[in-house]
Amino acid sequence: MKTTLLKSVLLVFLAAVSWSCSDKDKVDPAPPSLANSWKSGWDSQKVLALAKGSRPLPEVYLEANYVTYQLSLFEKGATYLVPKSTLDNYGRDTLGYPDNTQFVMAAGEMDAMLVKTGKDISKIETELGIPAGSWKDKPMVRISIANPKELNLRLPSGNEMGANALWLPGGKLPTGYSEAVVNRIPKSKYTETPL
């Protein structure tokens, strides 16, 4: 009788502990950091020491969970900025460099950046590392891609036409925003919005 009572009390106690440990108390694991995601023998300098055109795919030197996490940031869409005059000059049928690449930011990060800068063009230039004055007095357009996975979304290798001397491996701009690459974008896969 005493044993049964003790067992009952124990069961009630365990149920109470289980109930108190609800999902809301669980802490999401911290996102993987680039610093901790290099595969053995690799670092940023080693990638950058390789000539453009000869750099390996990021999957060669970055842990898979980091790559997966970085790309997950684009699940709500990808986006980039371009002067309207450039769009008018090169056309809207298919966007992107001739090597079948176009760099993109995560839509949420672009939204936050535009709020942060108040859409001040000179401040946006600074945030994105654009040479000062490049966009002065130019009507700008935001290109939005709802489903970048359809366009082979991937982390940049640094071999892309749009990768310049400031490019860093790891899917992040020097200013910290996330970046990825998609294939050239057909007209049916993007929307154009004045900035």
Partner 1 sequence: MKELEKEGWNYTLFLSEDKQLIFSVVCGSVGLYDFVVALNREEQAAYGSRGKAFLGELARTIRENESSYLTRRISI
Q: Which two tokens stand for residue 74?
A: 């684009």
With a CB cutoff of 8 Å and minimum separation 6, the contacts of 97 are 160, 161, 162, 184
Q: How far is the CB of 124 from partner 1 (least distance, A)?
A: 8
- By CB under 8 A, which span of 2-10, 41-49, 91-99, 146-154 interacts with partner 1? 91-99
Contact between residue 66 and residue 34 where contact means Cβ atoms under 8 Å apart: yes
Near partner 1 by CB under 8 A: residue from 62, 67, 73, 95: 95
Which of 125, 145, 159, 171 forms a contact with partner 1 (CB under 8 A)? 125
Which two tokens mark 42? Answer: 């690799």
Pick from 32, 56, 83, 108: which binds partner 1 (CB under 8 A)? 83
Alpha carbon distance 12, 121 (integer Å): 62
Q: Does 172 bind partner 1 (CB under 8 A)?
A: no
Any idea what DSSP says for residue 151? Answer: G
Residue 33 or 134: the one with the smaller Cβ distance to partner 1 is: 134
Cα torsion 45, 49, 51, 55 to 10°: value is -50
Length of the chain: 195
**Residue given tokens 């790559």 in the structure block:** 67
Q: Smallest gap, in angstroms, from Cβ of residue 184 to partner 1? A: 8
Tokens read off for 146: 């709802």
Q: Is 130 in the site for partner 1 (CB under 8 A)?
A: yes
Given a contact cutoff of 8 angstroms between Cβ atoms, the answer to whether 149 and 85 are in contact is no
190 near partner 1 (CB under 8 A) = no
Each residue 23-52 as x (binds partner 1 by CB under 8 A) or -, in order, gives -----------------------------x
Residue 78 CB, shortest distance to partner 1, in Å, is 9
Q: Which residues bind partner 1 (CB under 8 A)?
A: 52, 80-83, 85-86, 89-91, 94-98, 103-105, 124-125, 128-131, 134-135, 156, 160-165, 167, 173, 177, 179
